[in-house]
Structure 1
């Protein structure tokens, strides 16, 4: 499943279940949970309702794709956000909700302690807290500049989340590429 397919399946499943969560918010929560515990299961997207098989499948695929990106030495992790053809205002709102979900995922089990992080990574968490309240302002009327700003924010979130993950999670077990060559 591609990231777009997963986004669409999540959107459909969440709408069908009458959930108020967005695909990005669910992905943010899952990503935060995986940063704290890389064995975490996907969060329930809806309470008190049986999740559809399609939604369960999408969440499982999203978990695997997210872990693969977080553990990738090439840092291929990407937050699950709407495509660039969606209006900028909706994408900014989706990024804010993704960040809010991520912060919830970090703290969901009560074991996350930001004071145990390096100063640099604590700053990333503070920045993500600010981004969870992001929105467009009247000054954002220059569409080209606003698009560039949005792209920079998404990249900052992508790299910042990788930094948090790498600080909280040990590398995967097994021989490194260099060790396997000998």
Structure 2
């Protein structure tokens, strides 16, 4: 199975560098992760590969200190994913009815589709942090709708649980007003 994945996805230096920055962030070096991702963002540029831009922006959002900046990066990730999916000719779309479990390295279109529930969930959380509950609820609806395209598994269930937790938090905010 591992060999099949390697054949389907050639070695990608950009994704490797994104992964290295993610490891720095998870190890507690948020600033260095942000610096590396920022440099890579400028290297890729606005016309760069949509999968790379989506992945990078998705993780760059997590390194932000200001919720408005986090929202900006999450929106960039969503924009890159939506642009890639809508610009692809129908013949290029995979014929699989379900997206594989998680946004790991596969055909870029399949991987980007697997990002959608997480992207919408992150944007909903950003809006909640900015005290914009109506916008947060709208994104949660999109997250719920897109999570159904995922194959059953831990990734899908984890997203459903996170969606439910944020919904409960938003409901609690509404009840407290």
Q: TM-score range by the shorter chain?
A: 0.3 to 0.5
Q: Which has the higher contact order (CA 8 A, sep 6+)?
A: 1
Q: Quick check: which one's helix share is greater?
A: 2
Q: TM-score, normalised by structure 2?
A: 0.32
Q: TM-score, normalised by structure 1?
A: 0.31
